[in-house]
Each structure stands twice: as structure tokens, then as C-alpha cells.
Structure 1
Amino acid sequence: MSGESGRAGAELELAAHVIQLVRELAGREAEAEVNVRHEAEALTRFANSAIHQNVASASTGVRLRLHAGGRTAGGSTTLNSADGLRTLVERTLAAVRVSPADRSWPGLAAPAPLRLSAGHPGSGERSGLAFGFDEATARADPSERADRVRDFVRAADGLETAGYCRTVYVSAAFANSAGQAVEGRTAEAAMDGIARSGGADGVARLAAARLADLDGAVLGARAAAKARAAREPVELPPGHYEVVLEPDAVRDMLENFAFFGFDGKAHNQQQSFAEPGREQFDPSVTIVDEPLGSRDEPAADLPFDEEGTPRRPLVLVRDGVTTAVTHDRTSAAQAGTESTGHASAVSRSWGPHARNLRLEAAPLLGAAPGAGGTGAIADSARPLISAVRRGLLITDLWYTRVLDPKALVITGLTRNGVWLIEDGQITSPVGNLRFTQSYPRALAPGKVLGIGAETVLLPESWGRARYAAPALHLAEWNITGNASG
């Protein structure tokens, strides 16, 4: 990825050029918005405790959305020559002429400055190029990722390991025919690995805006400790169990909240549980979307969305009360409000989703984001276990699927370590379990018995979103069977 971060300004020039082509070919009556995104991703995979794949890719894509004569069409290209961009405009204009009428077109974002990064006062000039960006992560080479894999494998001390370490650099720009023109860049890193012992798996994962914050030895030691502690599990019957969810499991809850709960399109269609102004969660629960980072972490995302709307922190739940849902310009217009800066390339179809949710940790001086410790139990979960009379410690949730989007009833499996807790002590590992649980109901008033004091930044299971999660002590979790049935 070396040298990729020296592209500042190139994307904005491309975007401005496409806007000029639209004016020449479609006239000033056409409304146009252009996204130019240069993305470089590098991935180092390991299995059987050895690196088996190192891949890297870099590309610059241009997306055009054009609205003319009451119709809308979009197009994209990676051919960034003068001829390639002209062809993009010509074929998008041709597509507009045969598209159906677009009665939900919300118009273009007006010119607006980008906002300051919450974690880096004074860094937010209009260009957005200094929003907590880490140059070293953007320039990371394969040896730096390999070093972390080596440390992970060594720390597992002979256990079989597998996983990945990745770095991503993005430089992007947006321009529209209404005069909005912004640019920004971001970098991120993530590591996710498992260790296996006697058929039992342990996991450790972490996301960061700086590759330097990923310690392969810490992660490998934690994965190995969990695997060793999970050997020879017992089976438990179905039932409603008190649980302590480690941050990895809470990450799955936040991901489903983002995609199905706080989605403004789903809310407009009455397919979301969210009711702004109502106390739907325990008073201890506050959930914030933080695309501009925090005082502990550089910016998590670009400072603008796919429609050029400046991003900002958005409180979705405050002290148990649902306060907002996420909107792009289309869902906002339908709701009679303003965009919250959550437009994506597919948000008009699939809904606008938050990508940087944080469930606020319990206030405790000295608590800070981290990797969750090197033992079998995440640091954020340790103090919560002592308050459990009889229940379960659950590391991770996976293969989760929505059964009822309105109530956000989820079914899925536990993974990578489950233990029985009796009288505040872990007494036995437990085999993986199937559950069926409404996520909002699990966090309802009176159901949250404790929140850990440390949040852990975790990568999304399949994309590049980041979630900051503490451990949770919950009064009830509905176990419906063992993993085999």
C-alpha cells in the first residue's frame, strides 16, 4: 500500500470534471452527484498456524447519479480517462431517458462544510483530509501484517491457529451540480483469529484506525486461553438463562440494530422497533454512532456520506430513550426531516445504516478501549460474572438471522466459548447453543443488570464497519436447544 496516501486532491478533480461533462452533455437542468473513491486493501491470511495468502488490490471508481426530466439513473466506471468519463456520462444520460419516473427524488445536498473530528480538535478543515488519519496504516507493507500474525501464532503456544490481518486505505471525494464539493481519507486495520484445542475454539479480534494498535501477541494469547478453557464441554437443556455477553457477542447485537433497528427506511415503513421519544431500553443504555471517531480513536469513516452530507455523531439511544433513526436524503424527505449523513451506494434500496455504533460503557475512571485482555475472560466481563447466581458466559454469536424484523427477533448460535456460571464462579465449559431472542427485549428496562467498564473496537463480521462494545450482564436470554438441534 506504500505511496497510496499521496493522492490527496486527485479524486476531487475527477469529480469536478464529471460534473462539468454533465453540464456540457445534459444541460444545467440536470441534477448530478459524483462519488470518486480510491480504495487500497491488503489482507494477510493464515491457517494451520502459517501464512498461506497475502493479497492486495487498489482501484479508483467513479459513480454518477443523474436526475433529469423527473427520472433518475446511475452508472459507474473504473475507466478514469477523458474518454472513459465521457462514456460514463453518455450512457447514464441514456439510461435516465428510459427510466421510470422517480417521485421520491429528494434533490441534492446543498453546499455545507465538514464537521470537526470529535477526537482531534482543530483538525477539521473543509477538505476533511486531517480527520485523525493515520499515515503509517495507509502505507503498511506485508511484513508489518506478517509480524502480527507471527506474534499471534507464537502466543498460541502450539495450538492450531487461523485468521487474518488486514489494512485498508480510502481516499474519496464528492461533488454535485448544486455546488457541494468535499474530500477526505481514512485508514483502518483489523485482526481476527482463532486458536483450537481438542476441538474447542477460542477467538480474539480487534479493529483500529492504527495498525500499531493491533498486538498479535495479546490477541493470540487470549484466543489460546479461551480454547483451552472450553475443552470437554457439558450440555445444558433449553431455557431462559441469565447471561454475561462478552464484547464480541454484543457486537452482533449492535450490527443487527444498525441494519434492522435504526434504519430510517425501515422505520418509515413501520418495519422497525424504534419509536423515538419512548423509553425502549434500560436507563443504563446509551448508543451513539461515531463516524468521526472519539477522543480515544481517530476517525472511523469518511467525514461525508455518499450524497455529500457531512457526517456527525448521532445519539440513537440516550439513557434508555430512543432518540433517532438513521436517514439518507430520500428516507429523510419521506419522514419530513433531514439526512443524518447515512447515505450509501445502496441506501435508497436497502436503507441507510449506521456503521460506527458504540454502546457506552459503564462510567469508570481509567477505562479505555482495548483488546479485552489475554485471559479466557474479557476484561470487560470479569466484574459482571461475580453477580450471576446461575447463568452463562457467552463469547460470540454467529450465523444470526432475523425472524421478525419489527420486534428484531434473532435466531443464531453461540461460538468460540460458552461457560456455566454458578454463584459468581465459572464452573464448566458448555457446548454451543441455539438461541431465539428479541434483541431490543433483551435490553429492555430492568433487563440490563450490568455493563462493562471497557469498550472494545470490533470489526464487522463481513464488511468494514466498526462497533465499540462493552460486556453486558442481562437478566434473560432464550436458549432453544443445542447447536445440533
Structure 2
Amino acid sequence: MNADAFFALADHLNAELHGAEILFSNLANESSDFVRLNRNRVRQAGHVRSTALDLTLIEGSRQVEGGCDLSGDPTEDQVRARRLLMRLRERLGHVPDDPYLSYSSERSESDRRGDARFPPAAESIGELVAAADGMDLVGIWASGDLAEGLASSIGHRHWHASASFNLDWSCYLEADKAVKSAYSGFDWDPATLRAKLAAMREGLHVMSRPARILEPGRYRAYLAPSAVAELMGMLCWGGFDLKSHRTHQTPLLKMARGERSFDPRIGIHEEHDRGLAPRFTSEGFPTPPRVALVEGGRFAECLVDARSGKEYGETVNAASDAPGSLGLDAGTLDTADVPGHLETGLWIGNLWYCNWSDPNDCRVTGMTRFGTYWVEAGEIVAPVKVMRFDDSLYHLLGDRLEDLTRERELLLSAETYDGRSTDSALLPGLLVSGIDLTL
């Protein structure tokens, strides 16, 4: 469904309203190619085309929500949408007042369409299979167009369209020995893909050596962007939303109080202008291009969604209480120079099973995963047996931080539970003087 068809459907529904009813119509449209690979061969390929309509019917301080799938046929879609509207009207009289009901009462319009350049899925996968010849590769490819629309009886008319690709894969040597990589974005570059596969071949060569078993303790380390993503994911879990701060449940409470801080080079932002997620909320509020969450190592702003904004009297600046387009500022270290600067220590490619071990101290625990190596004299010499770490982000992003890489990697979410996710993170790698391994 394109923008004109959506707005025509919304106008039809608005004409069906009674009295003081207010209607918000939200559309999610997806046209995606999915390919699953195993042993470097295509095992499953398909195309998904879906359109979902969500309606919010409001009268006074009451609201009800509901959704339905659309077929693409205008006549049939009008029938489905009208039936949904009638069911919502039947429910509206039976719900209590909502004290945190919040929506924009000001008319607004926007039309944003992202620019992307990547070949059809078949061509991209053909390049991947050819470049990974001889490797035991398993992974998933997702690409295509996403669109979101908002229309209301108040006068909101917003449309956001984007296109992207996301390749998430691992290459196995044997048993649990594997390396993992990802390549995603808007512009496809075969040279970038080949470089990532070449790095994976080198990693598998190292994996064939006897694994180094480390004793618990503190080790100098480099955390690649994929590992940093896991740490940022923990911060997104209650670190930046207004409600967690006002109820003193945020893991950054000591920072918010001015008792602790990150390194002054740490800047964390919600970058709404990156292009994947829309610049409007489902309630009609526009979002700013950028929200500073941490600036100069100190807490800056909270993310405020519509309901928290109403509850605490703050201006809405996000569609959700968790970042969807997170960015961590770059540093000055060239990625190619990391082994030399690391000298002796750990190269951590990925982390998993992360959780808070002491949220009051912003302390995270988790396991090392694919592509973790021991480095000596600036050279990667051996894989490392899986280890558990337990350390505070006040150290890893604070007093033990030595540098961040100049290059940042764009990592798109591979989640597809309710359609392809628009969440993303733009992250550098971290060089730290120590990370605590516990077992």
C-alpha cells in the first residue's frame, strides 16, 4: 500500500466517526526478501508482503486500540477497516478513563523516503556464496522496503519509507568453534563483504589452534562493535527512559545524581535522523533529529514517550522508552592498529547471555562468544575458551577506557517477530585497560 492509498483509507474512516470521536490510524507496510543459508547453500528463500492497520479510537479520556491485516484491494480493505472501527466503538463505552492518555492535538505533515542502493537478494546471495566457497556458512539475509504511515481525524498526515539489507551469519570450524559477522546498511559494497569473509577465514585459522584457558582475573581487552552492542543493549534496558529515572530504577541512577560518570569521550545519542525509523510517534508527536542521552561522559536527557510525557509533564521526544537508533561517538583509534595497541590481552568479538549482576553499580555479567582470541605482542595467537565476565560499565566506559575506534559499524536488528525491526546501532570498538573475568 502506498501513501495515497493509505491516506484515502484513513479519510474514509474519519468520515465514519460519531460526535467527538477522534481516530488515529497507523499503517505498517513491508515487502521483504528472506533467505536462509546452511553449509553455504540456500536452504530456504521467500518473499513476504504484509500490510497491517492499527486504529486508536478516542473519546474524552477513554481510548481503545485494535488492528487488522489489509489485503491491498481498496474495497475489501475499507470493509475490514470499517468492521474494526465498529468493534472498537462497541468496546469504547466499557473501558475506564485513561489518566495517561496522550496524543498530539496539533495538525502536522511529513513525507520522508530513504535512499538505498543494493542489488536484488538473488544477486547479493550469489556474491556471498561465491566469496564464501569452502566455508561452512550459516545465516539469514533480509532486505526490502519498509513503510509506516500515520493519519488522524485531527489532521496528522505522515509517511516514512526506507529500504535496507541485513546479512547476519556465522562460519563454523567444528563443534562450538565458530566466528560470527554481520553486514547491513543501505548501500551494498561487494568489497566490504569480501573483506569481512577474509577476516573470518583468518579467524577460523586461529580457531584451529589449541584454545587458551585463562584464569579468572582482570585482562586488557578490545571489544569489537558487536560486543559493544551487547553492552549498549543493557544500557537501553532502563538506562535512558524517563519513568525509570523518576522512579529511581535506572542502572544509571548514580550518574543521574552526579555521583559517577563515564569517560568524557563517551557520547551516546538517539539518532532519529538516521533514516530507518520514522520521525513521528503513533500518537502524532514529531521527534527531534537527535537526543543527547550521555554527553561528555555525563547524563544529559531522558527518552520521553507519550505516556511518560503525560505522567511527568515532559515534552515527548521519542516513540518508545528505549533507544531505537542508538549511536556511540567514535574515537581516534584505527581498527587496523588495534592489535598493536592492545599488545597483550583479549580480542572479544561477541558477547551473549548478558544481564545485570548489580544494576545499582551498572554492573553487567555475560559470556564471551564467537571470535574471542588471545593477543600477544600485537598478534592474534590463539582462541580463548569461553569465559564469564562481570564488570561495571562505569569502568569499561569510564576509568578503564583507553580509546574508541575511529570507524563505526552500523548494526541493524535481525528481529522479525512483528515484522522486520527498524532498530539499529552505530558503534565503534572499545579498547580498555581491563575487563574482569570471573570463571
Give me the TM-score of the superposition, normalised by structure 1: 0.80
Decide whether the 8 Å contact of 1:417 with 1:432 is kept in 2: no
User: Are residues 14 and 264 of structure 1, via their aligned partners in 2, closer, same or farther at CA, if it must alter by over 3 Å?
Assistant: farther
Q: 1:284 aligns to what?
A: 265
Q: What's the CA shift string for 1:82-132, capped at 9, x where partnerless?
A: 22111111112222222233111123352345xxxxxxxxxxxx3223xx3
Q: Give 1:405 deviation, angstroms.
A: 4.6
Q: Secondary structure at the match of 2:8?
A: helix
Q: What's the CA shift string for 1:59-78, capped at 9, x where partnerless?
A: 11110122324222210011
Structure 2 gaps of 5+ residues are 71-75, 416-420
Name the CA distance, whole Å, in 2 between partners of 1:60 and 1:326.
Answer: 29
Q: 1:346 aligns to what?
A: none
Decide whether the 8 Å contact of 1:65 with 1:75 is kept in 2: yes
Q: 2:194 aligns to what?
A: 217
- Match of 2:26, as an amino acid? N
Q: Given the alignment of the two structures, is residue 19 of structure 1 paired with residue 14 of structure 2, yes or no? A: yes
Q: 1:202 aligns to what?
A: 179
Q: Given the alignment of the two structures, is residue 176 of structure 1 paired with residue 152 of structure 2, yes or no? A: yes
Could you tell which deviates more after superposition, 245-254 or 270-279? 270-279
Q: 1:269 aligns to what?
A: 247
User: Are residues 460 and 70 of structure 1, via their aligned partners in 2, closer, same or farther at CA, if it must alter by over 3 Å?
Assistant: same
User: Are residues 461 and 61 of structure 1, via their aligned partners in 2, closer, same or farther at CA, if it must alter by over 3 Å?
Assistant: closer
Q: 1:315 aligns to what?
A: 292
Q: 1:369 aligns to what?
A: none
Identify the match of residue 149 of structure 1 among 125, 128, 140.
128
Decide whether the 8 Å contact of 1:161 with 1:193 is kept in 2: yes
Q: What's the CA shift string for 1:132-179, capped at 9, x where partnerless?
A: 332x55xx534123224324423xxx2311112210311221022332
Name the CA distance, whole Å, in 1 between partners of 2:86 and 2:102.
Answer: 23
Q: Give 1:261 deviation, angstroms.
A: 1.3
Q: 2:95 aligns to what?
A: 99
Q: What's the CA shift string for 1:201-244, capped at 9, x where partnerless?
A: 11221220234578432332222222222232111112222221
Identify the match of residue 451 of structure 1 among 381, 404, 416.
404
Once the two structures are superposed, the pairs formed by residues 383-462 of structure 1 within 5 Å of their partners are: 383-388=337-342, 390-444=344-398, 446-460=399-413, 462=415
User: Are residues 271 and 406 of structure 1, via their aligned partners in 2, closer, same or farther at CA, if it must alter by over 3 Å?
Assistant: farther
- Match of 1:354, as an amino acid? P
Name the CA distance, whole Å, in 2 between partners of 1:108 and 1:328.
Answer: 12
Identify the match of residue 66 of structure 2 among 75, 81, 89.
75
Q: Given the alignment of the two structures, is residue 10 of structure 1 paired with residue 5 of structure 2, yes or no? A: yes
Q: Secondary structure at the match of 2:369?
A: strand
Q: 1:331 aligns to what?
A: 308
Name the CA distance, whole Å, in 1 between partners of 2:246 and 2:10.
Answer: 32
- Match of 1:284, as an amino acid? R
Could you tell which deviates more after superposition, 282-291 or 383-392? 383-392
User: Are residues 427 and 225 of structure 1, via their aligned partners in 2, closer, same or farther at CA, if it must alter by over 3 Å?
Assistant: closer
Name the CA distance, whole Å, in 1 between partners of 2:166 and 2:104.
Answer: 35
Q: Secondary structure at the match of 2:170?
A: strand
User: Are residues 100 and 37 of structure 1, via their aligned partners in 2, closer, same or farther at CA, if it must alter by over 3 Å?
Assistant: same
Q: Given the alignment of the two structures, is residue 301 of structure 1 paired with residue 277 of structure 2, yes or no? A: yes
Q: Secondary structure at the match of 2:211?
A: coil
Decide whether the 8 Å contact of 1:247 with 1:456 is kept in 2: yes
Identify the match of residue 115 of structure 2 among 133, 137, 147.
133
- Match of 1:326, as an amino acid? L
Decide whether the 8 Å contact of 1:151 with 1:220 is kept in 2: no
Give me the TM-score of the superposition, normalised by structure 2: 0.88
Q: Give 1:383 deviation, angstroms.
A: 2.5
User: Are residues 435 and 357 of structure 1, via their aligned partners in 2, closer, same or farther at CA, if it must alter by over 3 Å?
Assistant: same
Name the CA distance, whole Å, in 2 between partners of 1:391 and 1:227.
Answer: 19
User: Are residues 395 and 439 of structure 1, via their aligned partners in 2, closer, same or farther at CA, if it must alter by over 3 Å?
Assistant: same
Decide whether the 8 Å contact of 2:395 with 2:401 is kept in 1: no
Decide whether the 8 Å contact of 1:268 with 1:334 is kept in 2: no
Once the two structures are superposed, the pairs formed by residues 118-129 of structure 1 within 5 Å of their partners are: 126-129=110-113
Q: Give 1:384 deviation, angstroms.
A: 3.6
- Match of 2:235, as an amino acid? F
Q: Secondary structure at the match of 2:272?
A: coil
Name the CA distance, whole Å, in 1 between partners of 2:294 and 2:401.
Answer: 14
Q: Secondary structure at the match of 1:192?
A: strand
Name the CA distance, whole Å, in 2 between partners of 1:178 and 1:475.
Answer: 55
Q: What's the CA shift string for 1:330-368, capped at 9, x where partnerless?
A: 11222321111324xxxxxxxx2211111111158xxxx
Decide whether the 8 Å contact of 2:270 with 2:326 is kept in 1: yes
Identify the match of residue 141 of structure 2 among 151, 159, 165.
165
Once the two structures are superposed, the pairs formed by residues 220-239 of structure 1 within 5 Å of their partners are: 220-231=197-208, 232-239=210-217
Once the two structures are superposed, the pairs formed by residues 41-120 of structure 1 within 5 Å of their partners are: 41-79=32-70, 81-112=77-108
Q: Give 1:273 deviation, angstroms.
A: 2.8
Structure 1 gaps of 5+ residues are 114-125, 294-298, 344-351, 365-378
User: Are residues 127 and 277 of structure 1, via their aligned partners in 2, closer, same or farther at CA, if it must alter by over 3 Å?
Assistant: farther
- Match of 1:128, as an amino acid? R
Decide whether the 8 Å contact of 2:219 with 2:434 is kept in 1: yes
The alignment's C-alpha RMSD in Å is 2.5
Name the CA distance, whole Å, in 2 between partners of 1:144 and 1:266.
Answer: 46
Identify the match of residue 228 of structure 2 among 225, 231, 250.
250
Q: Give 1:394 deviation, angstroms.
A: 0.4
Decide whether the 8 Å contact of 2:103 with 2:284 is kept in 1: no
Name the CA distance, whole Å, in 1 between partners of 2:25 and 2:3.
Answer: 17
Size of the aligned set, in residue pairs, is 423
Q: Secondary structure at the match of 1:306?
A: coil
User: Are residues 205 and 337 of structure 1, via their aligned partners in 2, closer, same or farther at CA, if it must alter by over 3 Å?
Assistant: same
Give the fraction of aligned pairs with identical amino acids, expressed as a percent. 22
User: Are residues 468 and 418 of structure 1, via their aligned partners in 2, closer, same or farther at CA, if it must alter by over 3 Å?
Assistant: same
Name the CA distance, whole Å, in 2 between partners of 1:250 and 1:460.
Answer: 14
Q: 2:73 aligns to what?
A: none
Q: Secondary structure at the match of 2:47?
A: strand
